[in-house]
Amino acid sequence: MTPPNQDQPSSSNATSVQYYNTFPGGGTESDEENLPPEYGPFDEIEPLIEPEQLMKIRTLVTAVGLTVLVFTLLISTVAFASLYYHLLMQVRTRNQTKSTVQLKYKPTVILPVLPYSQNNSRLPRWPPASISPLGKYSKAAVAADNEICSEIGRNILLRGGNAVDSAIAALFCIGVMDTHSAGIGGGHFMTIYNASTKECTVIDAREVAPLAATENMYENKWNDSRIGWKAVAVPGELHGLRTEFEKFGSGKVEWKHLLKPTIDLLNEGYPTSHALAKALNQNEARIHQEPTMKNYINPETGRVFQPGEQIKTRKNLLETFRILANSTDPIKDFYEGILTEKIVKEFKENNGILTMDDFKNYRSIIHSSQNVIYTKLKNGRGVCGPPPPSGSAVAQAILNIMDGFEYNMKSFNDIETLYHHFLESSKFSYAARSWLGDPAFVSNATAIAKNITSKEWAEWVRSKITDETHPDDYYGGSFESPPQDHGTTHVSIIDAQGNAVSVTSTINL
The predicted structure's pLDDT at residue 121: 42
| Residue 409 predicted with pLDDT over 50 | yes
Write out the catalytic residue numbers. Answer: 488
Comparing 131-145, 159-173, 325-339, which segment has the lowest mean pLDDT?
131-145
**Three-class SS state of 201:** strand
Cα 431 from Cα 433, distance rounded (Å): 5
The mean pLDDT value for 199-218 works out to: 94
Cα 351 from Cα 207, distance rounded (Å): 20
**Omega into 107 within 30° of 0, i.e. cis?**
yes
Please check if 21 is assigned to a binding site: no
CB of 5 within 8 A of CB of 11? no
- In terms of Cα–Cα distance, which of 22, 16, 21, 68 is closest to 45? 16
Please check if 506 is assigned to a binding site: yes
**Three-class SS state of 457:** helix
The mean pLDDT value for 327-339 works out to: 96
Residues 363-393 pLDDT 10s: 999 999 999 999 999 999 999 999 999 999 9
Please check if 400 is assigned to a binding site: no
- Residue range 372-474, CATH number: 1.10.246.130
Q: Which amino acid is at 416?
A: E
Please check if 331 is assigned to a binding site: no
Residues 410-463 pLDDT 10s: 888 899 999 999 999 999 999 998 888 888 888 899 999 999 999 999 999 999
DSSP 100: E
Cα 112 from Cα 161, distance rounded (Å): 9
Q: Which amino acid is at 101?
A: V
Residues 460-498 pLDDT 10s: 999 999 999 999 889 987 666 555 555 789 999 999 999
| Residue 60 predicted with pLDDT over 90 | no
Provide φ and ψ at 501, rounded to 5°: -130, 135
Q: Is the dihedral of CA 216, 221, 225, 231 positive or negative?
A: negative
